[in-house]
Amino acid sequence: MAELAELLRAIDALGPRFAERAAEADRSGAFATANCAELKARRIYSAGVPVELGGAGLPPAELGELTRTLAHHCPATALALAMHQHLVATAAWRHRLGQPTAPLLGQVAQGQRVLVTTGAGDWVQSSGSMRRVEGGYRVTAKKRFASGLPAADLLLSSAVLDEPAGAPTVVHFAIPADTPGVSSAADWDGLGMRASGSDGVQLDEVMVADTQVTLQRPRDAWHPSLNLMVTVAVPIISSVYVGVAERASELTRLACAASTDPLVHARLGELLTTLFTAQALLKQMFAATAPGGPAPDLATADATLKAKSALSRAVRTCLDQAVALTGGAAVLKTHLLERLWRDAQSVQFHPLAEAQQQLFSGRVALGLPPMRPPGQGSR
């Protein structure tokens, strides 16, 4: 807890500067490079690295508290940080299981190196192609939504290997972001989270050495490694959006402070109840990541994804209620609520989107594979 308190104090100190920069970054869509540099200087990027490897050793729930708090000041920076921190948290969990992630975690701790992933767009089936060459693979792919890409030191991605014939394999790898053939598409121009640097990344005949491969799994089946990924990543990312809802709710509460209208009081109570729902769902998700708890399984992943869908609805409803209660001023570009409303919309697009989650959960409930194998008709 001492480490968490120290890092939260650092975010509280940085927050006002980040908030001052946020409006201009939103207007321009430019990545918050200065924020990233200041977070590095405070060693925020190594917060989740185990203590024995040079980090602060924060568990997933405390990493979520960092990103949620940062979102009160600059949601886009918080989102880019969350994308890094969930990768660190997953690697730290694997390290505790005796898996060989210490070199990666050591790089993060020693140099505050930033991890960026294309995992959200890749999901289970991935995309792109790779072919075997001497010493590794050549990869060609266009990936979307690599949040934090302008600051990336290491790129964690995957592609599809079509061998043996008829049994495509997804190969995961971690490579330096400046590897020849890796480039940014510089195409992020979103409705919200505009300073998150969520650009696409192009891989043109990129060399991936055998030693840079981290996992190989079947393309058309749910793999146990995905249970851990979902259980750890989803709540850390969701924390950002709960932070957005908290900031919007506080702005609205302050705007209502002088009102004597009972209807305003009731509507504020409704908003705060919606916020409470989102906060409770987040707490429920993080309970599955408690240190010393059981390894995540399919039931854990399913519960996390169901909670995420409900949280997504609660966050967006909270922002709708805040805007409605504040009135017409809240839709002006000069009003912070307008930007927070736009930022909150992205929560629904992080995997899994609600319709996909419902299909996933329905299949799990019926004892079917979460992912429908090709060629199996309605099953």
Q: Does the domain spanning 2-113 belong to CATH 1.10.540.10?
A: yes
- pLDDT above 80: residue 376: no
Per-residue model confidence as pLDDT tens digits over 142-163: 999 999 999 999 999 999 998 7
Per-residue model confidence as pLDDT tens digits over 14-33: 999 999 999 999 999 999 99
Per-residue model confidence as pLDDT tens digits over 319-346: 999 999 999 999 999 999 999 999 999 9
CATH superfamily of 119-218: Butyryl-CoA Dehydrogenase, subunit A, domain 2 (2.40.110.10)
- pLDDT recorded at residue 274: 98
- pLDDT recorded at residue 378: 45
Contact 172, 213 (CB under 8 A): yes
- pLDDT recorded at residue 164: 66
- pLDDT recorded at residue 174: 97
Q: What is the mean pLDDT of the chain?
A: 95
Alpha helices in the chain (DSSP H): 2-28, 33-41, 60-71, 75-96, 102-111, 119-122, 224-256, 262-287, 298-326, 336-344, 354-365
Per-residue model confidence as pLDDT tens digits over 51-105: 999 999 999 999 999 999 999 999 999 999 999 999 999 999 999 999 999 999 9
Per-residue model confidence as pLDDT tens digits over 170-179: 999 999 999 9
Fold that domain 224-365 belongs to in CATH? Butyryl-CoA Dehydrogenase, subunit A; domain 3 (1.20.140)
Cα dihedral 252, 254, 260, 265, rounded to 10, equals 40
- pLDDT recorded at residue 377: 45
- pLDDT above 50: residue 229: yes
Q: What is the DSSP string of 156-224?
A: EEEEEE--STT--EEEEEEEETTSTTEEE------SS-TTS--EEEEEEEEEEEGGGEEEEEETTS--H
- pLDDT above 60: residue 266: yes
Tokens of 241: 């959006």
pLDDT, mean of residues 234-254: 98
- pLDDT recorded at residue 59: 98
Separation of alpha carbons 36 and 44, rounded Å: 10
Per-residue model confidence as pLDDT tens digits over 160-210: 998 766 689 999 999 999 999 999 999 999 999 999 999 999 999 999 999
- What percentage of the chain exceeds 70 in pLDDT? 97
Separation of alpha carbons 378 and 72, rounded Å: 45
pLDDT, mean of residues 212-226: 94
Domain boundaries, the chain: 2-113, 119-218, 224-365
Separation of alpha carbons 163 and 270, rounded Å: 55
Contact 74, 16 (CB under 8 A): no
pLDDT band of residue 2 (cuts 50, 70, 90) is confident
